[in-house]
């Protein structure tokens, strides 16, 4: 039960922080303008993304809304499928759900996702604007990869068996 509580706290607090941050920043930054936070490296902008990653497939707004809606029960179902989850699994799935909920809200309320974080790592390289929800999903997928590669018990058993055969 405590895994469920922690999972839901991460998801709901993360989604809430995403939505509040979008509202606060976008209320202060005019549309298509930006405010320097760390000159040359970090600024807050104000754009809308009607598609998915890097604005791709923006002509399919309704599809992305449906995909987002369907993703929520799938994420919860995948989380529920693990009987005794490790803390890394709980955090991972909580982050992915938080990001999904944050961007789902935007798609439902605005038919697009509000983005505002802009990184520049030299004068010629600017990362496309994103939001906290996008960051949660990326961090969740990274942690999920770590979980699957290093902590999956089935893979550990196979590795041990192959080590015994080869050693």
Q: Where are the alpha helices (DSSP H) in the chain?
A: 2-28, 61-80, 87-110, 132-146, 153-166
Sequence-ordered list of residues with C-beta below 8 angstroms from that of 146, at least 6 positions apart, any chain: 88
> Which residues neighbour 132 within 8 Å (Cβ) at sequence distance 6 or greater?
14, 17, 18, 21, 22, 99, 102, 117
**115 in active site:** yes
> Catalytic residue among 27, 106, 122, 134, which?
134
Find the catalytic residue in 59, 106, 115, 122.
115
122 carries an active-site annotation: no
Environment class of 132 (CB within 10 Å of its CB; exposed 0-12, middle 13-18, buried 19+): buried
Q: Which residues are catalytic?
A: 115, 134
């Amino acid at each position: 039960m405590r895994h469920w509580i922690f999972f839901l706290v991460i998801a709901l607090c993360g989604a809430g922080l995403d939505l509040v941050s979008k509202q606060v920043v976008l209320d202060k930054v005019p549309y298509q303008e930006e405010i320097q936070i760390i000159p040359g490296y970090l600024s807050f902008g104000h754009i809308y993304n009607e598609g998915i990653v890097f604005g791709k497939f923006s002509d399919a707004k309704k599809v992305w809304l449906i995909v987002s809606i369907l993703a929520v029960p799938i994420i919860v179902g995948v989380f529920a499928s693990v009987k005794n989850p490790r803390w890394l699994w709980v955090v991972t799935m909580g982050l992915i759900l938080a990001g999904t909920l944050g961007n789902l809200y935007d798609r439902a309320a605005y038919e697009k996702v509000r983005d505002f974080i802009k990184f520049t790592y030299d004068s010629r390289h600017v990362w496309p604007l994103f939001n906290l929800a996008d960051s949660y999903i990326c961090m969740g997928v990274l942690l999920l990869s770590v979980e699957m590669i290093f902590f999956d018990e089935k893979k550990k058993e196979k590795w041990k068996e192959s080590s015994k055969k080869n050693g």
